[in-house]
């Protein structure tokens, strides 16, 4: 883990981070492809859009790292960061459907289904109906239950 990079990320110091990367510092250790995962998640957690975008451009991230960062963005209700991560290849189907639903973005929920996500995994859609006002989600359910029978599970 590069503590210098983490410190720059947490402070939102975009230009210093760019200089650090340009100096040839690695975001991940070559022997451990997941070593930069924490940096990507930290950037998402801090909410600095430009810092996250710089990290996404600076390296090829694993699907696991992208999915974890996407889960963080959705959990923080940061649709802008989620869109940025999705644009850079984050696999929406690997995140928790509850996290997708809490954005109240029915387009994003539909995308989750179309990309192979399982809304019935760990009873997440039922949890959504118990947690939030069910009316808008019932409309979503009625619109997609025939095409995606897993919603009924």
Integer Cα distance of 23 and 19 in angstroms: 6
pLDDT of residue 33: 54
pLDDT of residue 28: 67
What digits encode the pLDDT tens for the residues 135-149? 889 999 999 999 999
pLDDT of residue 26: 81
pLDDT of residue 152: 86
Using a CB cutoff of 8 Å and minimum separation of 24, what contacts does 9-14 make? Answer: 9/39, 9/42, 9/43, 9/46, 9/48, 9/51, 9/55, 10/42, 10/46, 12/46, 12/48, 12/51, 13/51, 14/48, 14/50, 14/51, 14/54
Integer Cα distance of 5 and 95 in angstroms: 26
Residues of the chain predicted below pLDDT 70: 1-2, 28-36
DSSP structure string for 39-61: HHHHHHHHT-HHHHHHHHHHSPP
Q: What is the CATH number of the domain that holds 44?
A: 1.25.40.20
pLDDT of residue 146: 95
pLDDT of residue 1: 44
Range(s) of the domain holding residue 81? 3-152
Number of domains in the chain: 1
Integer Cα distance of 85 and 57 in angstroms: 11
């Amino acid at each position: 883990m590069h503590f210098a990079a983490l410190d720059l990320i947490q402070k939102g110091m975009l230009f210093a981070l760019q200089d650090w990367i340009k100096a040839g510092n690695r975001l991940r250790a070559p022997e451990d492809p997941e070593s930069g995962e924490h940096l990507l998640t930290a950037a998402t957690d801090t909410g600095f859009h430009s810092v996250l975008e710089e990290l996404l451009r600076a390296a090829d991230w694993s699907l696991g790292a992208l999915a974890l960062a996407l889960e963080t963005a959705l959990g923080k209700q940061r649709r802008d960061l989620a869109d940025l991560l999705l644009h850079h290849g984050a696999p929406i189907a690997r995140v928790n459907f509850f996290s997708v639903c809490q954005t109240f973005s029915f387009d994003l929920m539909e995308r989750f289904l179309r990309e192979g996500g399982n809304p019935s995994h760990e009873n997440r859609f039922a949890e959504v109906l118990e947690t939030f006002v069910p009316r808008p989600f019932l409309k979503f359910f009625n619109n997609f239950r025939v095409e995606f029978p897993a919603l009924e599970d």
